[in-house]
Structure 1
Amino acid sequence: MFFDRVLIANRGEIAVRVARTLRALGVESVAVFTPPDAGARHVREADIALEVSKYLDIEAIVAAALASGAQAVHPGYGFLAENAGFARRCAEAGLAFVGPSPEAIDAMGDKIRAKATVSAAGVPVVPGGAEPGDALTEWADFPALIKPSAGGGGKGMVLVRSAAELPDALESARRTARAAFGDGTLLIERYVENPRHIEIQVLADTHGNVVHLGERECSLQRRHQKIIEEAPSPFVTPETRASMGTAAVEAARAVGYVGAGTVEFIVDGTTGAYHFMEMNTRLQVEHPVTELVTGLDLVELQLRVAAGEPLPFAQEDVRLDGHAVEARVYAEDPARGFLPSGGRVLALREPAGGDGPGRVRVDSGLAEGGTVGSDYDPMLSKVIAWAPDRASALRSLDRALARTAVLGVVTNVPFLRALVRHPAVEAGELDTGLVERALPELLPRAGVPGEVAAAAALAFHTLPQGPDPWQVTDGWRIGERAWTTWRLESRDGVHAVPVRGLPDRSAEVLLDGEAVPARVTTGGGELAVTIGGRTTRYLTARHGDTLWLGRDGESWAFTRHLIGDPGDRPGAAAAGDGVVRSPMPGTVLLVKVQTGDRVSEGQPLVVVEAMKMEHTVTAPRDGVVAELPVQPGRPVDMDAVLAVVTGEEA
């Protein structure tokens, strides 16, 4: 019997995505939320919503499911998705867990045990050693990679090039593993040079059927975190696909797997030799690319398997059609070392449909008016493009990203567009180190383009200026109109743009010393700016005295800067003035100094935490801590003043 009501034990874009399939199947969805998420999109789109203390509270989630009358729980990914204890608790409560058995989760959750299990089933594994024993301290095959046995997401992984580096690397990896996973057990493996990260999607039912749905290329990573994924891989041949698929199926069979899962392989980009890395016992973030090339709904198949139904197709029925590419949109700032960002979503534009023979899909948890906070993962949405061939899919994805705008929150969209258009990516010459090597080419350009600053000045110039005609800044005077210089502040500094006239009638803007005709029209949340006969459209929004403009996947925020301002707005302060600002919205974790302390340049002052990332803010100069307006445990906004360090003479 199929389900009537399913609780989604997750949040954000995956909760919205699961609810979409439930709606299509005529099944009621139950959302859970913590207080900060009370107005979130996944809450609004569910049929029923119940508050819980936290998304990791197993008893609270199970109680919510029982109270709602749900018959099953879909865990999404992250949080409790790979928690064997949660799967057991659901079974004890009479709830169907939309995922594998607790035993399968346990078997694949421990990397050491997983390698031994699949190796016994004939699946090739990377040569390595594990604890307990002396395999790590006596390892002599370099380069090598140290990994936490209980880990994931790249945390605690350390590359070791020589025996001399090994002791310190083991200590560092063990410290990280204990902090992140509560288990300091490590393993070591031969490091594969020029590696590609390729994974196989598997599906298994309770009737003994196991199939694979081809591969996904996940080699575009930064710090072991995936950024862009695609299916199929431009590297994998039909013969290799069949071989890797068979290995993935055997790995799933080895643990009696049921449901959707992913077997991940490290592949030598030179020889094509592949080795098992790990198995993710859940739905993957990148599952949409597989759905688009196979025409299958993986969430629907998960639900049907959990309800006891057999898979409706066999291996020979699986076909791969066309090419799909996915980009992950994060609330992070590439120009600031990819630090988390946040804020209120003032305006939102997400692409829909597609162009030419392709199509675009967006999986998103965003909604206008919502707040992107610092408590959870910074992924906001995923933009996915399908086309008949890979080159067309990449172009379609780039155009879709250009139509993506999130005003009020800094995102990585410009970085994603640069990566999609990188020559190595276009050629399919990928490996897991490509992004780090190409990073200088991929980071957004510094500064604000002159025409954007001019558009912002013209926008400010059109704002209502009061009933007094003498206050209208059209520059009127006897003889000819005078120039009004707008000093606008952005994160890149102060921009002085002279304007005269009224832009909704006839105006001029001074660009590179030349007076250029300009005109502005507004409507529908957009600003149409015509400068010198060329019209550019911007998505626009205001929040207090801040104006946001968005175009081609980029966004800029401006405030008015008055002559004599003491550098008290974002972007105005330089290191020389001693003002220390928060590089990201978050929570003050530690304050390492007190007012009146003498400090040296580079000395740690405050530690800010956001989205499970810590950032230490240091003194910009030698001097004395004159102001310290923060306390541990208190939230701070991006660019909020954390401290002021004055010179000894002050």
Structure 2
Amino acid sequence: MFSTVLIANRGEIAVRIIRTLRAIGITSVAVYTESDYTAPDAAPLHVRMADQALQIPHYLDIEALVAAARASGAQAVHPGYGFLAENAAFARRCAAEGLVFIGPPADAIEAMGDKIRAKRTVSEAGVPVVPGGIGADLETWTDFPALIKPSAGGGGKGMVLVRTAGELPEALASARRTAEAAFGDGTLLIERYIENPRHIEIQVLADTHGGVVHLGERECSLQRRHQKIIEEAPSPFVTEAMREGMGAAAVEAARSVGYTGAGTVEFIVDGVSGDYHFMEMNTRLQVEHPVTELVTGLDLVELQVRVAAGEPLPFGQDEVRLRGHAVEARVYAEDPARGFLPTGGRVRALREPTTVRVDSSLAEGVVVGSHFDPMLSKVVAWGEDRATALRTLDRALAETTVLGVTTNIPFLRALAGHPDVVAGELDTGLVERVLPALEPTADVPDDVVAAAALLFHNAPPATDPWEVADGWRVGERAWTTWRLESRDGVHEVAVRGLPASGAEVRLEPTGVMSARAVVEGGELAVTLGARSLRFVVVREGDTVWLGREGAAWTLTRHRIGDPGDRPGAAGGGDGIVRSPMPGTVLLVKVAAGDQVSEGQPLVVVEAMKMEHTVTAPVQGTVTELPVRAGQPVDMDAVLAVVSSEE
């Protein structure tokens, strides 16, 4: 067994690997880059937890990672997922340096990394594949609807659905451009598109002694733009006979390439007939592996390490048992109310549930930047049955609060509670179909606005009193009006009395309510009329962050003379153009003094693998342009000002 393992990754997967290494007595070595330290006083969680930590220039720098492993005395490298986890060159470089790559052989990575080669290989092993074509078949394909895929791709990038022959030429050109840009390889394949498909994958494990087993399936059909959101094990659709057949096919797929370690064979499944076809194999640990761990009682990372150290699997296929049901929800730094744009910021307060499994990279004080994938954590719930697991997941998400960084938690709760999801009627297009009903609005509830006003009224910020008070009456307590700005505009709340002992709140159209508010241990206890509420709360000067039941809001005191426009808007009637997300300015398409038309692209902002083009809100002249290409910007930072002639 190894004494020291270097983890060539970051974030929640690095933290998760460190926990297992610690449990089995192995020294963990973390790596980090300058981008991880977005604040000098906020070391990332995986660095805090590791036994050692070494800086590298970039997570894709193979030579720097190998040098770090040598310097730390590590005998093995765990790549996690993403970055170099499926990079055959990295696996070979580790081997050349005498380091054990905790993953499959480089040849297996290459065989399964090329979708065309992978389909041919598993088909020859008797595994059913989706009918498809390559090369000249692309131009003459007649079986529609069809799906175009980059051969070297993954994560849904470059996939294009084509329903008619007339759409084919343009779709091929678009997919090829995307494939070349994303993967450096424009090779494409085309497959018959299965309507209402389910995405079901089989977890496999293989040792170096010829042992190969599967650990059942995971249902991964809840996706948005081909990215998984909620996963579960086992699938509510798969029968015992299907599980046996798909499991055997997955084992044969692994055997066909001499696979070792943990891997996942993905199938596209007809949601009516149950017919299944090989889609691809991910030659690494999957993000959703915790649901398999919870229903099998196995630690996949420990098994990966033991297999890499040469040990045989400690069990056979007949000994694998599935117990209960597990569901995982991915918490992302993204804003569903803004079209799921990436977000960011400093984590000012954090509450994570203790009754379920949470794989997380979050800690108070950590700054979520725009350099890496937006996934922050995974909340994973187990129950004796599926209904119990879903209820437990919802409670756990309601107990999760992240202040300072907008997340998708309210969306996750809405999705997990959707009737089709509860009924197990899933397919890969479900999320897009029901999305309009699930997207939360930017509106701040009245009780949240009232709570913020009471908090300010308890301890007003130092200010000119004439900016706050709106008058007084002889013989009565005076009303104080608080103007609070949030993403949906400026709210006015009148308060009189002392919130700690008893006050009144006047808020249109609700009217006057009795109120109390007390801050205790980072929480705000509020009574509004007959309602009692508790918020996680942080206040800094004129800004307050409030969180409750998975949702979070930010309100700022609005001073007289401040603009009343919605702060999060990318553009407005005043011509101020703001960044819709924290990130880096990729392109500046205009210059100060240029005449522009309404809707004309001005600036392209890039963050977390996503580009967003910001356009002119009005026709006019670019009078201010304070940004340049390569410059980092915060959310709502002013990118440009367009002055109209009017």
TM-score by length of 2: 0.97
Q: Does 1:432 align with 2:428?
A: yes
- Aligned equivalents of 1:173 and 1:612: distance in 2? 17
Equivalent in the alignment of 2:21: 22
Work out the CA distance in 2 between the residues paired with 1:136 and 1:438.
33
User: Equivalents in 2 of 1:229, 1:566: separation in Å?
Assistant: 44
Deviation of the 1:284 alpha carbon: 0.1
Separation (CA, whole Å) in 2 of partners of 1:456 and 1:283 = 44
Match for residue 450 of structure 1 among 446, 450, 453: 446
Q: CA deviation at 1:533?
A: 3.4
> Partners of 2:336 and 2:305 in 1: how far apart?
38
- Tell me the SS of whatever aligns to 2:407: coil
CA distance in 2, matches of 1:311, 1:405: 40
Q: Where in structure 2 are the equivalents of 1:336-351 lying within 5 Å?
A: 336-351=338-353
**1:304 corresponds to which letter in structure 2?**
R
Within the alignment, does 1:564 sit opposite 2:561 as a pair? Answer: yes
CA distance in 2, matches of 1:49, 1:291: 28
Query: Residues of 1 paired with 2:248 and 2:422: CA distance?
Result: 29
Q: Distance in 2 between matches of 1:558 and 1:334?
A: 19
1:478 Cα deviation after fit: 3.3
- Aligned residues: CA RMSD: 1.7
What does residue range 180-191 of structure 1 map to in structure 2 within 5 Å? 180-191=182-193
The gaps in structure 2 that reach 5 residues or longer are 38-42
**1:129 CA drift (Å):** 0.3
Q: Is the 8 A contact 1:203 1:261 kept in 2?
A: yes
TM-score by length of 1: 0.96
* C-alpha distance in structure 2 between counterparts of 1:635 and 1:272, whole Å: 49
> Does the 8 Å CA contact 2:324/2:384 hold for their aligned counterparts?
yes
- CA deviations 1:365-405 (Å, max 9, x no partner) are 00100000000000000000000000010010011000111
Q: Which range is displaced more, 73-82 or 590-599?
A: 590-599
Match of 1:356 in 2: none
The percent identity for this pair of structures is 77
CA positional deviation for 1:579: 1.1
Change (3 A) 1:464 1:562: closer
Q: What SS is found at the alignment partner of 2:393?
A: helix
User: What displacement does 1:485 show?
Assistant: 1.2
Alpha-carbon distance in 1 for matches of 2:145, 2:417: 31
Going from structure 1 to structure 2, the CA distance change for 1:173 and 1:520 (only over 3 Å counts) comes to same
TM-fit CA distance, 1:542: 2.6
Matches within 5 A, 1:471-510: 478-510=474-506
| C-alpha contact (below 8 Å) 1:465/1:471 kept by paired residues | no
Does 2:122 match 1:124? no
| SS of structure 2 residue aligned to 1:239 | helix
For residues 281-296 of structure 1, what are the structure 2 equivalents within 5 Å?
Answer: 281-296=283-298
Give the counterpart letter for 1:41 in structure 2.
Answer: L
Instruction: Give the counterpart letter for 2:519 in structure 1.
Output: T
CA deviation string 1:526-573 (max 9, x = no partner): 111111132200001134532100001000001111232134772489
Measure how far apart 1:250 and its partner are.
0.1
The answer to whether residue 357 in structure 2 is matched with residue 361 in structure 1 is yes
Give the corresponding residue for 2:100: 96
CA-CA distance at 1:35 after TM superposition = 1.4
Aligned residue identity for 2:608: M
Q: 1:575 Cα deviation (Å)?
A: 1.9
How many residues are treated as equivalent by the alignment? Answer: 640
Given that 2:342 and 2:608 are in contact with CA atoms closer than 8 Å, whether structure 1 keeps it comes out as yes
Indicate the residue corresponding to 1:539 in structure 2.
Answer: 536
Distance 1:396 1:165, change over 3 A: same
Out of 54, 66, 77, the position equivalent to 2:70 is: 66
Unmatched 5+ stretches in structure 1:
354-359
Task: Summarize the Cα distance change of 1:168–1:479 in structure 2 as closer, same or farther, 3 Å threshold.
Answer: same
- Name the residue aligned to 2:253: 251
More displaced, 543-552 or 324-333?
543-552
2:228 to 214, 226, 250: 226
Tell me if the contact between 1:497 and 1:510 (Cα under 8 Å) persists in the aligned partners.
yes
Cα distance in 1 for partners of 2:428, 2:563 equals: 45
Within 5 Å, which residues of 2 pair with 1:99-178?
Answer: 99-131=103-135, 134-178=136-180
Q: Check 1:146–1:312 CA distance in 2 against 1; reply closer, same or farther (3 A cut).
A: same
Contact 2:569 2:578 in 1 (8 A): no
Give how far 1:484 is off.
Answer: 1.1
Q: Which residue of 1 aligns with 2:55?
A: 51
Moved more, 154-163 or 461-470: 461-470
* Secondary structure at 2:138 match in 1: coil
Point out the more displaced range, 546-555 or 460-469: 460-469
Distance 1:454 1:292 in 2: 42
How far, CA to CA, are the matches of 1:568 and 1:534 in structure 2?
31
Q: What is the distance in 2 between the residues matched to 1:469 and 1:494? A: 19
CA contact (8 A) 1:475 1:500 kept: no
Aligned to 2:40: none
Alpha-carbon spacing, 1:629–1:14, altered in 2? closer, same or farther (3 Å): same
